[in-house]
Chains A and B, each alone.
Chain A
Amino acid sequence: MIKPEAVGLSLSIRPPYRPSTIAINRKSALAIGVGLLAALGVVMYVVKLFSWGDRAEWAYPAAITLFVLSAVSAAPLVAFASRMARGYWALPTRRVVELFALPSMVLFVLLIPILGSLPPFEQDGVTRANLWFGWGGGAPFLTDQLAVSVMLLAGGALMWFAAVPDLAGPPSRVRAMPAWKRLLFLNWTGTKRQWIVLRTSMRWISAFYLMMYVFVTMILTTDLGQSLLPGWRSGIFPAYHVITSFQGAVALIVITLYLLRRYAPSVGQFIGDEQAASFGKLLLALTLFWFYFFWSDFLLVWYARLPSEVAAVQTNVAVTYIVPFLIAMSGQFLIPFVTLIFNPIRRKLARLTAVSVIVLIGLLFDRIRLFVASMSSENPFSHGLAELPEPYYPNAIDILFMIGVVGIVAAIYLWVLTRIPTPGGWEMREGAMYRREQKYMHAEVLLLGKPD
């Protein structure tokens, strides 16, 4: 039987278990290394801004931006899913994943020049494919950024509200706060009404976050993808993108949990095989979904044989970007599928982490093959590619930019870990009230209470 970590079952209610923030020494190799990478990201962003250039210059930044949308911004949804499904196994991980809402904010900044580089919908009387029917009210720049802002607002609110009971401290502290701060801390005293409002609001806001995430994915993948590569027409592609994003998010969470278990014992003591087994199952299911969605998309084009659609598939799958595609397919499907079907790999966090690293590499190359191909496409106003384009290779600035963005995301995440207590104290205490190991004949079983 896969057991939960014993320490999680025996948490004290009185005096209450209170999580702490994770202390990271600013002079440690980790802090310096991540800080330098983040600084590199900022410098490369400024360098790109000053050199501006045409749309193709922003091809690799677009790929890494969509990678961040996929793996980082989708992560908080795992907390929502586990709350909806009453998945107590995920209790120690909920705060860990909600904190990814903060690094997601870089999306807004990254998208400014990328969306700004897009061509107009109409040029010389010819209209390019788009979702906005040529609407001139600021699409796609304003509309996409507005949608991203609503999503980020929901993510930020979810992260903050979930953390308020742990951050607020005793009522006397809240009462002593200035009015604006008291407002931020929801005037927290822990009344029954406040608990109910908190839970209800988290459910609502999480649902809004999911709705906006799917919508943002649809419009960004269309505006930065399908609308730029002539002949690329797919109704299933946004769904493919969402599913692979969930896969990437689960992989990122597994890696984060592994690192926390290894280097942050205050969180790591609660993380073990119970979480690995559940995330392993999710990752395997999402891996199988990859094949389903990719194949559903591919089969239609292959069977219909419309020249413009075949050329688009040859561009981002079969010919021009075949190397990134093969890496993506191996990382997102072949290797995880072959490894995760075995229990000893799926149920052990360290082994699952190794597979997750491969999944994330696959996801990055998937976004490269999809969005570099479209962002570097020469003529988005034609109805099909006259001839297959040459691959658009990254230069040194592109590579440093992508590394730097990963650094910025990691730096923001580490910073927020030092500011918000992890894991979520009130949910952990609540979980300890409802879970108990008990002898049943010769076996030990887990008794689980699900009050609502």
Chain B
Amino acid sequence: MSARNSDRKRELLGLYNEPDDAADAVSRLRGAGFGGNDIEIISATPYPEGAFGEQHAKHRLFAFPFAGAACGLAVAIAWHIGAQIALPIVTGGKPIVAVPAIIQVLYEGTMLGAVLFTVLGVLFESRLPDGIGVYDDRIADGLIGVSVIARERRIPDAQIALEEAGAVDVLSKDGSLMRPAAASP
């Protein structure tokens, strides 16, 4: 195998009947030297964070509402100040740009930006257009998937770790890696 091929990354997916087996697979993978970022849990039901000993999944969703709120506020301020400077009419002796008079619309603009960016943030953070590479419909039937991304030369280590934890099946992009007799339906 050339050095270039051995550096290429591949994904393996182990399927487990029981949460305990999936947790065992995660600890075996980490014991074999795979980093937390390379391991992903896939399930049809949300398990508590850290239940499988997996690394905390980082996301930046919290940044989107703040960015959206800032953009919405900026647009609302520009709209108002622009309108009031373009047509300066003194009302009741108040300043041309009076904050109490425009605060409701600033709020609306801020909230519009925050909601829109949050929705966009959910789409972005759901990893569109590509999510996990290898998948199996048995996860929707209740099996728990442990996905690991490994360099080509470390694929055998990953497969051993997944199988030793009691995997029902281990899959790569090309299909099942387990012998037909070993892989239960």
Contact = CB atoms under 8 A, between A and B. Distances in A.
Q: Do A and B come from one complex?
A: yes
A163 interface: no
B147 to A, nearest CB: 8
Given A14-B142, A133-B101, A135-B102, A193 B59 contact: yes
A172 B135 contact: yes
B128 to A, nearest CB: 5
16 contacts: A13-B142, A14-B143, A132-B104, A133-B98, A137-B83, A157-B122, A170-B137, A171-B135, A172-B137, A190-B42, A191-B131, A199-B46, A205-B119, A208-B65, A211-B111, A430-B45
Which of A16, A196, A197 has its CB near the most chain B CB atoms (within 10 A)? A197
A197 B105 CA distance: 30
B96 interface: no
A193 B61 CA distance: 11
Nearest to A133: B101
Given A146-B108, A187-B129, A452-B48, A192 B40 contact: yes
A189 B102 CA distance: 44
B45 to A, nearest CB: 4
Describe A's contact surface by its main secondary structure.
helix
Contacts, number: 170
Contacts of B105: 135, 137, 139, 143
A175 B129 contact: no
B79 A208 contact: no
Which of B83, B94, B100, B132 has its CB near the most chain A CB atoms (within 10 A)? B132
Interface in A130-165: 131-137, 139, 143, 146-147, 149-150, 153-154, 157, 161, 165
B129 A179 contact: yes
B53 to A, nearest CB: 12
Contacts of A344: none
A13 B18 CA distance: 10
A172 B137 CA distance: 6
Interface of B: 17, 40-49, 54, 57, 59, 61-62, 65, 79-80, 83, 87, 91-92, 94, 98, 100-102, 104-105, 107-108, 111-112, 114-116, 118-119, 121-123, 125-132, 135-137, 139-143, 147
A197 B41 contact: no
Given A171-B139, A197-B122, 5 more contacts: A136-B87, A150-B111, A204-B61, A219-B104, A433-B47
Contact of A146 (B92, B112, B116, B129): B112
A211 B54 CA distance: 35
A196 B56 CA distance: 10
B118 A205 contact: yes
B129 A193 contact: no
Contacts of B17: 14
A13 B17 CA distance: 11
Interface in A1-20: 12-16
A201 B114 CA distance: 12
Interface in A27-63: none
A199 to B, nearest CB: 7
Interface of A: 12-16, 131-137, 139, 143, 146-147, 149-150, 153-154, 157, 161, 165, 169-172, 175, 179, 182-183, 186-201, 204-205, 208, 211-212, 215, 219, 426, 429-430, 433, 451-452
Contacts of B48: 451-452
Contacts of A182: 128-129
B57 A200 contact: no
A452 B49 CA distance: 8
Given A169-B140, A171-B135, A200 B61 contact: yes
A215 B109 CA distance: 12
B131 A187 contact: yes
A407 to B, nearest CB: 30
A182 B121 CA distance: 15
B118 A201 contact: yes
A165 B126 CA distance: 12
A153 B115 contact: yes
B28 to A, nearest CB: 18
Given A137-B80, A191-B132, A208 B111 contact: yes
B42 A191 contact: yes
5 closest A-B pairs by beta carbon, nearest first, are: A14-B142, A451-B48, A133-B101, A170-B137, A170-B140
